Amino acid sequence: MKNIILLFTLFFSIPALAQEETLLGTAEIEHGGYGGPVVKFTSINNNFGVLVGGRGGWIINHTFSIGLAGYGLANDVKAHAVGPFGEQYVELGYGGLDLEYIFNSNDLIHFSIHALIGGGSAGFRYSWEDENGWNYRNDTMHRDYDPFFVIEPGANIDLNVTDWFRTSAGASYRHVSGLSSKATTNSDISGVSEEVPVREFNSRTTL
């Protein structure tokens, strides 16, 4: 009788002691939002280019983030040809889905990898200093841009300044395909960028 009771006790105790395995686990999950400006230094048409934009999105457990990013050329870079209205410079912008994996985010200095997948367009424009160009830039009927696909993987070294603010520096490689513009080419806007992001103004909740 004692042996039977012991067997029943063990039989019902084993499920209680075992921990159920699930895909997402049972621990609390911390969520946060981030956003901030990014400046990229790169080569466009074999000239120095400055891309200005930003990234923002949702961080899960201080480890994985999903969001959006977008950048535009902010300085004058000569086009390969003169545009239909006499424009001599490249207009360029791109953006899309932004994914990131953060290693050891609680460490003062840590490492992250990210990738942007999306699209953009390139065309002609006047110089930023040309006042006559503003009328053209505001006239959407005269816009003539060519679209392209872009994928841009990169890596950053991150510094935790406070528990809600982080700054980074790193590099990425922009690969462009599908462009058929006379202002620039796929290879002329593909290449390495040095990144200086300032980001993660973080608002956190726990589920």
Please determine, for residue 205, whether its predicted confidence score (pLDDT) is greater than 50. Answer: no
pLDDT at 62: 79
Beta bridge mates, 63: none
pLDDT at 134: 52
Rounded to whole angstroms, the Cα distance separating 183 from 80 reads 5
Residue type, 191: G
Question: pLDDT tens, 21-58?
Answer: 444 555 677 778 888 889 999 999 999 999 999 999 99
Tokens of 19: 């921990």
Higher pLDDT, 1 or 183: 183
Q: Say how many CA atoms lie within 13 Å of 53 toward its Cβ.
A: 20
Q: How far is CA 34 from each of CA 58, 78, 109, 142, rounded to the nearest angstrom?
A: 6, 35, 18, 36
* pLDDT (mean) for 147-168: 89
Rounded to whole angstroms, the Cα distance separating 68 from 125 reads 26
CATH architecture of 29-206: Beta Barrel (2.40)
Any idea what DSSP says for residue 97? Answer: E
pLDDT at 94: 98
Please determine, for residue 203, whether its predicted confidence score (pLDDT) is greater than 60. Answer: no
Any idea what DSSP says for residue 134? Answer: H
